[in-house]
Structure 1
Amino acid sequence: MTPTADDYRWLFEDDNGGFLAESYCATLVRQMTRADVLLRLGATFVQQATFGQVVDPVDLDDEEGRSYIAVAQIAGSALILEQFSMVGYDHRVSLSQGTTLATHFNTVNADTGFAYLHDGKVLLDFEPFYGDFRDAEDAELAEALRESGFVGDPGGEWTDHYVEAAFALASRLVGPDLSREALEGATYVYASVPER
């Protein structure tokens, strides 16, 4: 089954949405371990967490000059989830060295971004809120965008359920399947990362 935005509507049911409804960054890195992510980011382990604790964040001691990320291992790939920071997005080039990565974010002001990279090269970069992906020159990539739920309207019409569509697109482009079972069943590691 190829994921679509409909497959991620559950993220906003009941209390599942947590910070995803407000401000988040999600980064999926193909064939990378949690340890590799922490090493590349210069991160320090803080504690383990469940998906429920990640979407309804646990209280962590704020350290000046550091951001917090949650990293899970899902089918051989690493998933980074963050609230009110964009470490994965900011480090997308270095995290994608030697592999493939998709990262997306949404802020409380509806500033959005989605980037798809392979080995440091940007293959796609657009704003999910507007769903305008006219720069997707690759026909297969443009089809994956449409099938994930983005409208691709040159007039700038916004895409319904753009967060859900971004999760579907990341799963399509990078794999693995970020199903509800995979996200809820994973063990996450909280880590602190020095700000750039």
Structure 2
Amino acid sequence: MKRRSALLLLTLTGLAGCADAEAVVPDAGASAMPSADLRWPLREPDLAAGFCFTLVQGFTPKQVIDRLGGKELERVKWAQLVGPGDGEAGAARRYFVGLTRFDDWTLIAEDAGDLGVTEEIVRPLSEGRRVLAYRSDATGRGRLLVIEDGEVLLDFDSGTPERWGGSQPGDFVPAMRTAGLLGGTDVTEPTGPALSFLADRTGVTLTREQLNERTYLLVTVPK
């Protein structure tokens, strides 16, 4: 985004700053929403170029930033984080991500980014804990990762549902069938089922309302 390019310039010149993540990120839990609308990103203009949601267990946003080697820029709301929806455009060397907290999980939110499914980044982040990520591209094709203690347990790509991997993919078959990721027509529109799968495994229901009410730390992370 143009605003992000400006923020990057401020960072490089040492003018950007941000308050401590612990002080500015609300620690509110997500309530169970069995009938929640989890297909909402498909109708969100700001996410038309794609998005990635990554949930990191047991780390605060500050700890995630430290382990990613990230740089805090400022505190923003959801509309500032994702609008106008061009994501990583023009940012060849850095990711721009937003971090917020849901109880024992930290969410890394990206529009048009892929940090959460870049294994060389998230494998180290998963040491001693579990990381789950879902990325949707501009065509609606989705990739779902479950990583624990540096090991990819599940790697599912909706574009090639017959070829999915990880070291323990069979362990997730019942949950994937329940969510709608396997079988039926939802395989070609995986966003809703994938977010349902994340909610089932983490207790975090990523509705638009949940994301819109939170404050995020806007962070740059080296690619």
Taking structure 1 as the reference length, the TM-score comes to: 0.79
Alignment RMSD, CA only? 2.9
Q: Distance in 1 between matches of 2:34 and 2:144?
A: 17
Please tell me whether residue 36 in structure 1 is matched to residue 36 in structure 2: no
What letter matches 1:94 in structure 2? P
> Offset at 1:102?
0.6
Check the 8 A contact 1:110/1:129 in 2, yes or no. no
Q: SS of the residue aligned with 2:205?
A: coil
Is 2:66 the counterpart of 1:54? no
Aligned to 1:93: 123
- Worse-superposed segment, 91-100 or 101-110: 101-110
Farther off after superposition, 186-195 or 80-89? 80-89
Query: What secondary structure, in the 3-state scheme, does the structure 1 residue paired with 2:74 have?
Result: strand
Q: Using the TM superposition, name which of 144-153 and 64-73 deviates more.
A: 144-153
Find the counterpart in structure 2 of residue 108 from structure 1: 138
The aligned amino acid for 1:85 is: G
Decide whether the 8 Å contact of 1:100 with 1:118 is kept in 2.
yes
Q: Are 1:144 and 2:175 counterparts?
A: yes
Offset of 1:33 from its aligned partner? 0.8
Partner of 1:117: 147
Q: 1:84 aligns with which of 112, 115, 133?
A: 112
- 1:184 Cα deviation after fit: 2.1
* Higher alpha-carbon deviation: 126-135 or 17-26: 126-135
Q: Letter of the aligned partner of 1:78 in structure 2? A: T
What is the identity, as a one-letter code, of the residue corresponding to 2:94? Answer: R
Alpha-carbon distance change, 114 to 165 in structure 1, aligned in 2, over 3 angstroms: same
Aligned-partner SS, 2:187: coil
Cα distance in structure 2, aligned partners of 1:137 and 1:12: 28
Q: Given that residues 51 and 137 in structure 2 are in contact (C-alpha distance below 8 angstroms), is that contact kept between their aligned partners in structure 1?
A: yes
SS in 2 for 1:190: strand
Match of 1:72 in 2: 100
Q: Higher relative contact order at CA 8 Å, sep ≥6: structure 1 or structure 2?
A: 1
Q: Is the 8 A contact 1:30 1:175 kept in 2?
A: no
Contact 1:131 1:158 in 2 (8 A): no
User: What amino acid is the match of 2:203?
Assistant: G
Change (3 A) 1:160 1:63: closer
Does structure 1 residue 20 correspond to structure 2 residue 51? no
Q: Where does residue 9 of structure 2 map in the other structure?
A: none
Higher radius of gyration, 1 or 2? 2
Q: Which amino acid aligns with 1:40?
A: R
Contact in 2 for aligned 1:2/1:172 (Cα 8 Å): no
Paired residues of 1:134 and 1:152 also in contact (CA < 8 A): no
Is the 8 Å Cα contact of residues 104 and 114 (structure 1) preserved in structure 2?
Answer: yes
Change (3 A) 1:132 1:180: farther
Relative to 1, partners in 2 of residues 1:42 and 1:149: Cα closer, same or farther, differing over 3 Å? same
Give the TM-score, by structure 2 length: 0.71
**SS in structure 1 opposite 2:131?**
strand
